[in-house]
Amino acid sequence: MNLCTFNGSQASPLRHLADNRGVTPDPEAPSEAPVCSSRGCRNTATWMLLWRNPRIHGTDRVKRWAACDEHEPTLREFLTARGFPCQTERVG
Ligand SMILES: [Zn+2]
């Protein structure tokens, strides 16, 4: 069971993300390159955001969001605005 909601937030810019990548294969997506996590965006991700919610995640529980160049700042802002520790990694 995957719960991907933020406490008290109905304004997530993200489409549903499963914890285990690959459990919901998208036939239109390339099999290798991750697709940006921003809602409606089909760009190939060039960044991976590693983050966690300290209120619900332990220090060993890191979530990963893929992001394209355009949305990496948006997604990072979304996380940092909520005080979530967040790191970015270049992918591809
Ligand atoms: Zn994007």
pTM of the model: 0.62
84 belongs to a structural domain: yes
9 belongs to a structural domain: no
20 belongs to a structural domain: no
51 belongs to a structural domain: yes
Ligand 1 centroid from CA 15, angstroms? 11
62 belongs to a structural domain: yes
Q: How far apart are CA 49 and CA 66, in angstroms?
A: 6
Ligand 1 centroid from CA 51, angstroms? 17
23 belongs to a structural domain: no
Ligand 1 centroid from CA 46, angstroms? 9
35 belongs to a structural domain: no
* 92 residues of the chain, pLDDT tens digit each: 554 545 444 445 555 554 444 445 555 544 567 999 999 999 999 999 999 999 987 888 999 999 999 999 999 999 999 999 999 999 87
Ligand 1 centroid from CA 8, angstroms? 24
Q: Which domain holds residue 71?
A: 47-90
Number of domains in the chain: 1
∠ CA 41-31-49 to the nearest 5 degrees?
A: 50
